[in-house]
Amino acid sequence: MSIAVFASGSGSNFQSLVETARREQWPMDISLLICDKPGAKVLERAKNLEVPAYPFNPKSYPSKADYEREVLALLEQYQIQWIVLAGYMRLIGPTLLQAYGGRIVNIHPSLLPAFPGKNAIEQAFHYPVKVSGVTVHFVDEGMDTGPIIAQVPVEIAEEDTIGTFTQKIQQVEHWLYPKVVYDLIIGKVTSPVSLCSAKRDKE
């Protein structure tokens, strides 16, 4: 049993997850990276960390379902139990939700439900709010809408620039995400599987 990380970008959260899991000898490996952006920096990090990485080009599939079916086959091959989204810039579709509902988590750089979607750090900084933060949540069919597991506030101080504020958010992400993922895999946080499937049944 193991964990797959899905990422599209730089991969700093992917790296902190892999390094923490190894350092703390988690009972489950991060054994797979799924990337939907060929050439993304996260692929370089996976190579350096020796984690098998699979770059996909979703646009080359006839439909999202076809793309996700191929990803699903890979997840089954690796006996993946948890999907951890770390900067994966794509909504999870019904194929993966039906297979992994309640076992997919995401990290978002704001205090949801404020500032969902892209550029959440910039949105909060320019609003301007005094406090934003980081949220880890279960994934459902919406954009950044699933049940919240953990939130940590991050202050926007008078002297902060977008650069310093971004750094403060990233610092929190890099300890919070490994902590929450660890709590999930050891069963300290309970997955709301029934909640996710109840929502699906209504559709």
CA 147 distance to own-chain centroid: 14
Which segment (6-14, 64-72, 122-130, 186-194) binds ligand GRF by CB under 6 A? 6-14
Nearest Cα neighbor of 55 from 78, 25, 32 is 32
Q: Is 145 in the site for ligand GRF (CB under 6 A)?
A: no
Q: Is 133 in the site for ligand GRF (CB under 6 A)?
A: no
Site for ligand GRF in 158-197 (CB under 6 A): 173
User: Is 106 annotated as ligand-binding?
Assistant: yes
**Token pair for residue 184?**
């999930």
Phi and psi dihedrals of 143, rounded to 5?
-95, 110
Q: Is 151 in the site for ligand GRF (CB under 6 A)?
A: no
At position 60, the amino acid (one-letter code) is S
At position 201, the amino acid (one-letter code) is D
User: Is 92 annotated as ligand-binding?
Assistant: yes
Nearest Cα neighbor of 39 from 27, 52, 56 is 56
Nearest Cα neighbor of 53 from 108, 99, 7 is 7
Is 108 one of the catalytic residues? yes
Q: Is 144 in the site for ligand GRF (CB under 6 A)?
A: no
- In angstroms, give the least distance from the CB of 202 to ligand GRF: 27
What residues are designated binding site for (6R)-10-formyltetrahydrofolate?
Answer: 64, 89-92, 106
- Residues near ligand GRF (CB under 6 A) are 7, 9-14, 86-87, 107-109, 173
